[in-house]
């Protein structure tokens, strides 16, 4: 979501009477690459760009390609083969060992199907959606490169194409949503290739406790583009100058937590108030919520007191409940200072939402990015529970 936000913010600053722009999206990766499918970069005709499609290797050439797209006003897919260490077509031997397809689309702020407007809608998603984008087509009469079909969080399907794309992709849109795995599929005997991208809401971080050690947690979460709320029942702790990166600061008495906050499966909660009695009351109200992560600051025996309090008050510690609880909070990185502890906490939350253990990559068996063993495709996998409503189809 951070990349979406940055691209949208930059887009809103562009004076289109003076400048032109294009959007590059990674739509397929076979082998290895720095970025996975779904990575985006907004490019201006003056050479400026935000976002990224690689580690800096492909951006320069993509900028050059974007000028052609801007001039023709036609989207284009560019393929980069980085498997040859000695291939200097781009001026350097990349050696990334991957074949990367990049879709470059012109940006017209007046166009009905402006892809940036679609990015803006992604930021408003409260649940899962799927975007299907055509990035290769020799069937130019009916389906064109850049055409999209979008399964929105309300279950409706929206399409930029009126000549059968929705009917062609309808079943697979539902299938991708169910699997929550982005991937590329071919249609019409290989004449049409489509990138299916699972879109999920950004992480909402809810921090209970407005102490000095909460500040670096909010700052790191903000860097990642998360929506951050800091809550405390003591108004004196919620000083704006202490939390300049928080999206919201909410003074809420412990008895009203359940009523005050809208907690979803995309919410991570951190208890760091340093007040055991306050935490006891708060955790009673949040433990059975849909939050995917609840972290408790402090030593293990402190958290065990909270768990004993819940059990004594009729809360059953099911496997699902135990899975969402994290104590002591954070990854084991030897953190001591508030800043180091913040790194540990944010890293654990990121690992939880990515279904990773947080260990050293050097000991990971298999590729860094998820990969389909059958076709060597790199894909994004979403693991959170699916609370998606029944799908409705509309034209």
CA distances from 3 to 10, 56, 241 (A): 11, 15, 26
Same domain (yes/no): 217, 113: no
Q: Has residue 375 been placed in a domain? A: no
Burial (CB count within 10 angstroms: exposed 0-12, middle 13-18, buried 19+), residue 316: exposed
Pick left, alpha or beta for residue 164 (phi over 0 → left; psi -120 to 50 → alpha; otherwise beta).
left
Q: Domain with 229 in it: what CATH number?
A: 3.40.50.720
Q: Has residue 171 been placed in a domain? A: no
The rounded Cα 7 to chain-centroid distance in angstroms is: 14
What's the rounded Cα separation, in Å, for the pair 214 and 245? 11
Q: What angle do CA 75, 81, 87 make, to 5 degrees?
A: 130
Same domain (yes/no): 209, 347: yes
Half-sphere exposure (Cβ direction) of 155: Cα atoms closer than 13 Å? 8
In the numeric block, the tokens 């935000």 are attached to: 50
Boundary of a domain, candidates 61, 93, 120:
120
What's the rounded Cα separation, in Å, for the pair 293 and 348? 10
Same domain (yes/no): 313, 211: yes
Using DSSP's 3-state secondary structure scheme, residue 311 falls into helix
Q: Which two tokens stand for residue 117?
A: 């407007």
Q: Which two tokens stand for residue 8?
A: 């949208």
Same domain (yes/no): 215, 99: no
Please report, in tens digits, the pLDDT of each residue of the chain (395 residues total).
788 999 999 999 999 999 999 999 999 988 777 788 899 999 999 999 999 888 778 888 899 999 999 999 999 999 988 776 555 555 444 556 678 999 999 999 998 889 999 888 888 888 899 999 999 998 767 899 999 999 999 899 989 887 789 999 999 999 999 888 888 999 988 889 999 999 988 999 999 999 999 999 999 999 999 999 999 999 999 999 999 999 999 999 999 999 999 999 999 999 999 999 999 999 999 999 999 999 999 999 999 999 999 999 999 999 999 999 999 999 999 999 999 999 999 999 999 998 888 989 888 877 666 666 666 666 666 655 543 333 343 33
Q: Has residue 16 been placed in a domain? A: yes
Boundary of a domain, candidates 86, 120, 154:
120
Q: Has residue 166 been placed in a domain? A: no
Tally of domains within the chain: 2
User: Phi, psi at residue 70, to the nearest 5°?
Assistant: -65, -40
The rounded Cα 1 to chain-centroid distance in angstroms is: 5
Boundary of a domain, candidates 71, 93, 120:
120
What's the rounded Cα separation, in Å, for the pair 381 and 66? 29
Q: Has residue 194 been placed in a domain? A: no
Q: Has residue 98 been placed in a domain? A: yes
Q: Has residue 192 been placed in a domain? A: no
Same domain (yes/no): 110, 218: no
Same domain (yes/no): 227, 345: yes
Same domain (yes/no): 215, 115: no
Q: Has residue 226 been placed in a domain? A: yes
Same domain (yes/no): 213, 340: yes
pTM reported for the whole predicted model: 0.84
What's the rounded Cα separation, in Å, for the pair 47 and 49? 7
Helix then strand then coil, % of the chain, to nearest 5: 30, 25, 45
User: Which residue range(s) make up the domain with 9?
Assistant: 1-120
């Amino acid at each position: 979501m951070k990349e979406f936000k940055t691209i949208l913010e930059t887009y809103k600053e562009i004076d289109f009477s003076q400048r032109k722009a294009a959007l590059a999206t990674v739509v397929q990766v076979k082998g290895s690459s720095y970025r996975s499918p779904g990575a985006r970069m907004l490019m201006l005709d003056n050479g400026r760009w935000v976002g990224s499609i690689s580690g800096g290797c492909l951006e320069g050439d993509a900028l050059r390609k974007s000028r052609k797209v801007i001039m023709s006003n036609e989207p284009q897919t560019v393929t980069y083969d980085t498997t040859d260490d000695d291939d200097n077509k781009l001026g350097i031997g990349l050696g990334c060992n991957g074949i990367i397809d990049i879709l470059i689309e012109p940006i017209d702020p007046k166009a009905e199907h402006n892809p940036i407007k679609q990015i803006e809608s992604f930021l408003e998603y409260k649940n899962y959606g799927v975007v299907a984008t055509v990035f290769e087509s020799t069937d130019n009469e009916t389906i064109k490169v850049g055409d999209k079909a979008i399964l929105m969080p309300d279950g409706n399907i929206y399409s930029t194409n009126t000549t059968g794309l929705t009917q062609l992709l309808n079943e697979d849109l539902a299938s991708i949503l169910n699997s929550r795995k982005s991937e590329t599929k071919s249609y019409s005997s290989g004449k049409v290739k489509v990138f299916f991208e699972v879109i999920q809401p950004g992480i909402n971080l809810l921090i209970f406790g407005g102490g000095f050690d909460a500040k670096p947690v909010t700052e790191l979460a903000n860097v990642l583009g998360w929506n951050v709320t800091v809550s405390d029942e003591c108004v004196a702790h919620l000083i704006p100058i202490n939390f300049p990166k928080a999206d919201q600061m909410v003074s809420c008495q412990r008895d009203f937590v359940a009523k005050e906050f809208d907690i979803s499966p995309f919410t991570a909660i951190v208890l760091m108030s340093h007040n055991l009695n306050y935490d006891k009351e708060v955790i009673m109200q949040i433990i059975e919520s849909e939050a995917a992560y609840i972290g408790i600051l402090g030593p293990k025996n402190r958290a065990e007191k909270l768990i004993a309090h819940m059990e004594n008050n009729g809360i059953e510690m099911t496997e699902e409940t135990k899975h969402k609880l994290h104590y002591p909070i954070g990854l084991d990185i030897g953190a001591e200072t508030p800043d180091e502890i913040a790194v540990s906490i944010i890293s654990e939350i990121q690992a939880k939402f990515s279904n990773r253990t947080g260990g050293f990559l050097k000991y990971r068996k298999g590729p860094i990015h998820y990969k389909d063993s059958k076709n060597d495709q790199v894909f994004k996998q979403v693991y959170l529970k699916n609370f998606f409503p029944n799908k409705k189809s509309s034209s």
